[in-house]
Homo-oligomer: A and B are copies of this chain.
Amino acid sequence: MRGRTASPPANRRRLTLGGQTNEGRRAVSDQRGGSPTLEMVAALAGVSRATVSRVVNNSPKVSVRVVERVNEAIASLNYVPNRAARTLASRRTRTIALVMPESTAKLFSDPFLASVTQGIALHLADTDYTLTMLIASDDTPEKTQRYLLGGNVDGALVVSHHSGDHSLGEVSRTLPVVFGGRPLAAGGALTYYVDVDNYGGARAATEHLLGRGLRQHGTIAGPQDMPPGLDRLAGWRDALDAEGLDSTLVECGDFTPESGAAAMIRMLDRGRPLDALFVANDQMAAGVYSVLHERGLAIPANIAVVGFDDNFYGATATPPLTTVRQPSNEMGAKMAEVLVRVIEQRDVPRVTVLPTELVVRGSAG
């Protein structure tokens, strides 16, 4: 039915395909593992390539009978559409970049980040988007930017603790971008982001300590150039201020256990009374624990401690750490969901804040 020699000019491209060249290609394909093409499906189903394409893309305007026939052909041939061809023709890559600043990648072992990433990957697995990991080298931001803007992806997800990279702020004016965590130098109301309620969590943690009658508070805060660091400190401060208590016993770390230990030592050396401590993340709390143990200070008898994150190390510490659980997985999933909506031009709020939850354990019963 499609073997008839076409009448138009003889040097047209498709003609070659209809002739023996087709056989020639077949041989090559075979030895290469030869993925079946849309054209082969069309031939088997007895329809045009356009129709097969429509079926593959779930176009509503194809008769049920044909859809069925095509799907059978697809199944029997084990056909898989070629991504590159699809992208080239449609200008949609169906690819989303997971951008991670190099400095962040180095801290990848951070369970929180890993968990967010996992949430993203798991959510995307159910869509037909593919996730590509992009390490944004700190010293060649143009390379990243070029890649992102080079039509290689439909959108980008940015996870980082040093949130709010400038170069990416620019990118977000051209490409759909969703940030994980409030960007620092937010590009105004122009960026999309998903965050956890750092302020609320910190405040709840502190109020819990307050509820136990504790009055001498201190906090090991996170870096003050990172939104989570800022927001958690603010939550702690406001909870204390509301009670008219002192909120000046603050030492900052950088979210690593070592920095937590160092900050704790500095705080203790200030010699001020202390019976309640809020630590801005569980990793630093681990550092705090070791210092407190060394100094012979009992938790929570001498000092009650509350952390932030809820990774499993806190749960198995001695005593188990009271902490603020943040829905890291959900955060990743939400980021992916928001981005897909933006890409598909569907309606979606620019800011999404996920609730945190206080998990009470032995360190601040």
Binding site for B on A (CB under 8 A): 8-9, 11-13, 32-33, 35, 78, 80-85, 87-88, 91, 93, 95, 98, 100, 102, 105-106, 108-109, 111, 113-115, 117-118, 121-122, 125, 130-135, 137, 146-147, 149-152, 174, 256-258, 261, 283, 286-287, 289-290, 293, 311-313, 315-318
> Could you show 6 A-B contacts with beta carbons less than 8 Å apart?
A80-B147, A88-B88, A108-B118, A131-B132, A131-B133, A290-B316
Q: How far is the CB of A174 from chain B (nearest CB, A)?
A: 6
CB-defined contacts of A130 to chain B, threshold 8 Å: 132, 134, 152
**Contact among B93, B109, B133 with A121 in the assembled complex (CB-CB below 8 Å):** B133
**Docked-complex contact B312 and A257, CB < 8 angstroms:** yes
**Docked-complex contact B313 and A289, CB < 8 angstroms:** no
16 extra A-B contacts, CB within 8 A, seeds A83-B150, A283-B312: A35-B150, A35-B151, A80-B147, A82-B88, A83-B151, A88-B88, A98-B133, A108-B118, A113-B114, A121-B133, A256-B312, A286-B316, A287-B316, A289-B318, A290-B318, A293-B318
When C-beta atoms are compared, the residue in chain B nearest to A107 turns out to be B118
CB-defined contacts of A84 to chain B, threshold 8 Å: 83-85, 87-88, 93
**Docked-complex contact B87 and A105, CB < 8 angstroms:** no
CB-defined contacts of A151 to chain B, threshold 8 Å: 35, 80, 82-83
In the bound complex, CA of A324 to CA of B286 (Å): 21
Q: How far is the CB of A299 from chain B (nearest CB, A)?
A: 12
CB-defined contacts of A106 to chain B, threshold 8 Å: 118
**Docked-complex contact B135 and A122, CB < 8 angstroms:** yes
**Docked-complex contact B115 and A108, CB < 8 angstroms:** yes
Top 8 closest pairs, chain A to chain B, by CB: A80-B150, A84-B87, A109-B111, A84-B88, A108-B118, A125-B135, A132-B132, A131-B133
**Docked-complex contact A257 and B85, CB < 8 angstroms:** no
Q: How far is the CB of A279 from chain B (nearest CB, A)?
A: 13
CB-defined contacts of A83 to chain B, threshold 8 Å: 84, 87, 150-152
**Docked-complex contact A257 and B315, CB < 8 angstroms:** yes
**Docked-complex contact A80 and B315, CB < 8 angstroms:** no
When C-beta atoms are compared, the residue in chain B nearest to A143 turns out to be B125
In the bound complex, CA of A81 to CA of B45 (Å): 36
In the bound complex, CA of A121 to CA of B152 (Å): 18
**Docked-complex contact B133 and A133, CB < 8 angstroms:** yes
In the bound complex, CA of A262 to CA of B256 (Å): 29
**Docked-complex contact A311 and B109, CB < 8 angstroms:** yes
In the bound complex, CA of A118 to CA of B100 (Å): 10
In the bound complex, CA of A257 to CA of B134 (Å): 32
**Contact among B88, B100, B117, B313 with A286 in the assembled complex (CB-CB below 8 Å):** B313
**Contact among B80, B85, B93 with A88 in the assembled complex (CB-CB below 8 Å):** B85
CB-defined contacts of A131 to chain B, threshold 8 Å: 132-133
CB-defined contacts of A115 to chain B, threshold 8 Å: 108-109
Q: How far is the CB of A234 from chain B (nearest CB, A)?
A: 27
In the bound complex, CA of A129 to CA of B318 (Å): 45
CB-defined contacts of A78 to chain B, threshold 8 Å: 146
**Docked-complex contact A316 and B109, CB < 8 angstroms:** no
Q: How far is the CB of A134 from chain B (nearest CB, A)?
A: 8
